[in-house]
Chains A and B, each alone.
Chain A
Amino acid sequence: MAKLDPAQAGTYTASLKPARKRGRGRVTPYLFVFPWLFGFLAFTLGPLIFSLVISFFDWPIVGQVKFVGFGNYIEMFTQDSLFWKSFGVTVKFAALFVPLNIVVALGLAMLLNQNVRGSAFFRTAFYLPSVISGVALAMIWAWVYSGEYGILNYFLSLVGIDGPDWLNDTRWSLVAMVIASLWGQGAMMLIFLAGLKGIPKDLYESASIDGAGRLRQFRSITIPMLSPTILFNLITSIIAAFQQLTLALVLTGGGPLKSTYFYAMYIYENAFKYFKMGYSAANAWFMFLIVLSLSFLVFKSSAAWVYYEGEIKSGAKAKSGARRRSA
């Protein structure tokens, strides 16, 4: 009986039933995925297309809508110094944040992976800041960074450093944003930790028998075995860096002198402060394309540096299969 065949039952049982029921059976799966499908059309695809359309219009929230072709795009590249400024700030932020985020998260994960007692406690400590709201995080750091009475400068003074007025000094404000963002790295650390736990112990054992030192083991085992996880975290970090907005809005308001005026904040202000919906949409699409192409580039480059364990196995299988066929 087909009904008892595990590969078939559950999916094709409907075909054994009378025709009327079969028709209903075909619709059933769509009924289950319908909520997502509707939401996708109404809240994602619809808005996505609409935002592309209005990016070609001069579209104030009240007043005359006017088609301007590529006008918005031309304006942002040629006449808008704030576009370049805010884009530059975001690129600088990403250039600092993305590598540091990976290094910090991986470093902490490796410390936790040393299997010392109490590592669950330390894991909780490292992860704790990432569960609170971005607004709470910004408020706490505004107080920590306070130039005169801040706890950070107090610690720096203990080691003889005269700390800057972090949030009011254009040279340090962006660094301050990076540090505050790194404080919320918890999720990435957990992902790295899981990746580290997935590396077979015997690799390290045989390496140390062969006389490989810790550094060598890190370079030749940990990094390659962890490379798919690094790829995932790298792309997630890039997306997060470009979308950083809450911190800028609450911690610095983009200042001082626009030194922390992120591109996302520029898009936000164009839409909801100046109500230039079309212009803002054009910028949002530009950001989308940048994030997509960066992710694509990283993904493309991954062929050279990401190592998938399956590759060798499937490669070997393919080879042996080819041999069998030729034989």
Chain B
Amino acid sequence: MRKTIVYALLTFCSLLFIAPLFWALTTAIKDPTELYLFPPKWLPSVWKFGNFAEAWTVQPFNVFLKNTVIVTVMATLGQLVSCALVAYGFARFEFKGRNFLFLVVLSTMMIPWEVTMIPQYMEFNYLGWINTLKPLIVPAWFGSAYFIFLLRQFILTLPRELDEAATIDGASKMGIFLRIIVPLMGPALILVGVFQMMSCWNDYLGPLIFLNDQSKYTLTLGLAQFKGMFGVDMQSIMAITCLISILPLAVFFFAQRYIVGGIAGTGIKG
């Protein structure tokens, strides 16, 4: 009896979460004549998969895709390299001011982006980086607090005996990092990579502020731009919505194990 209630509730709630996604997907493959009906039709009478290709040409989405891929790849790469190095520094060395600096790392997580956004804009403007992809890439090469914290916690769980054995064998600190620590950091690096990839791909505010020219736009900007356009049918908007969600959804399915464990870990430690 209790099990039945639990199942009923789980099913009902999961419908609430899935229904809007499903609705977006079926809208995307509808003929425009079937969009505005009441009661609505859940499934289109003809599945028009051509809608996706058609919607893609409404705006230069190829350009947006290229920009998004550049930003996502470069920023993710930067985040992985920098955060791993910094995390290793905090996890494996004793140095003056270490604890204080690490506290600073953690406290930067509290700063709302609104506070630093204006000076950052002026800074990038001064450097001539506005309307280039640089403001979305370069800062990622200098680490981010949350990922540094995550990786440091992970390195702390690795046995120090490995480092010591390598030291005796004459390995340098960099050698230990590259040959021993990094290969063992696999799961943690995947987690950081996945999080960074998703947040880059999905980011809207960064591109919105730092990019002006359509040739520099990312996918989210392109999608948001639909809002102010006339004569764009709902099925095109939903088609693009679905298309740009493919990557995060796919990444989630492949990395679910790491993501679920990773998020769960933050809560406990936090």
Which residues of A pack against B, CB within 8 Å? 3-4, 6, 9-13, 26, 28-33, 35-40, 42-44, 46-48, 50-51, 54, 61, 108, 111-112, 114, 116, 119, 121-129, 131-136, 138-144, 148-149, 151, 154, 157, 183, 187, 190-195, 198, 229, 232-233, 239, 242-243, 245-246, 249-250, 264, 267-268, 271-272, 277, 280-281, 284-285, 287-288, 291-292, 295
Contacts and interface: CB of A to CB of B under 8 A. Distances in A.
A271 B119 contact: no
B118 A134 contact: no
A306 to B, nearest CB: 12
B205 A139 contact: no
A10 B94 CA distance: 9
A111 B10 contact: yes
B93 A11 contact: yes
Interface in B105-156: 105, 108, 110-123, 139, 141-143, 148
Given A10-B92, A36-B148, A139 B223 contact: yes
Contacts of A151: 19-20, 23, 40
Contacts of B89: 29-33
B172 to A, nearest CB: 9
Contact of A284 (B21, B39, B118): B118
B58 interface: no
A284 B115 contact: yes
B226 A139 contact: yes
Contacts of A287: 112, 114-115
A253 B118 CA distance: 20
Given A133-B245, A190-B264, A272-B209, A183 B20 contact: yes
Nearest to A27: B95
B263 interface: yes
In the complex, the 10 A-B pairs of residues with the closest C-beta atoms, listed nearest first: A39-B142, A32-B89, A191-B267, A194-B264, A29-B93, A47-B119, A133-B202, A125-B14, A33-B89, A50-B119
A48 B167 contact: no
A288 B173 CA distance: 40
A33 B251 CA distance: 30
A140 B239 CA distance: 11
A288 B115 contact: yes
B143 A131 contact: no
B264 A149 contact: no
A35 B10 contact: no
A6 B98 contact: no
B77 interface: no
Nearest to A37: B101
Nearest to A288: B115
Given A33-B90, A51-B115, A10 B160 contact: yes
Interface in B77-109: 82, 85-86, 88-90, 92-95, 98, 101, 104-105, 108
A28 B20 contact: no
Contacts of A31: 89
Interface of B: 3, 6-7, 9-10, 13-14, 17-21, 23-24, 27, 35-40, 82, 85-86, 88-90, 92-95, 98, 101, 104-105, 108, 110-123, 139, 141-143, 148, 160-161, 163-164, 167-168, 173, 177, 198, 201-205, 208-209, 220, 223-224, 226-227, 234, 237-238, 241, 244-245, 248-249, 251-252, 256, 260, 263-268, 270
B92 A250 contact: no
Contacts of B224: 135, 138, 249-250
Contacts of B204: 133-135, 246, 249-250
A163 to B, nearest CB: 12
A111 B112 contact: no
B119 A133 contact: no
A47 B143 CA distance: 16
Contacts of B92: 10-11
A112 B17 CA distance: 14
B114 A190 contact: no
Contact of A281 (B86, B118, B201): B118
Contact of B267 (A116, A183, A232): A232
Nearest to B265: A194
Contact of B112 (A46, A239, A250): A239
A95 to B, nearest CB: 19
A151 B253 CA distance: 27
Contacts of B143: 35-36, 39
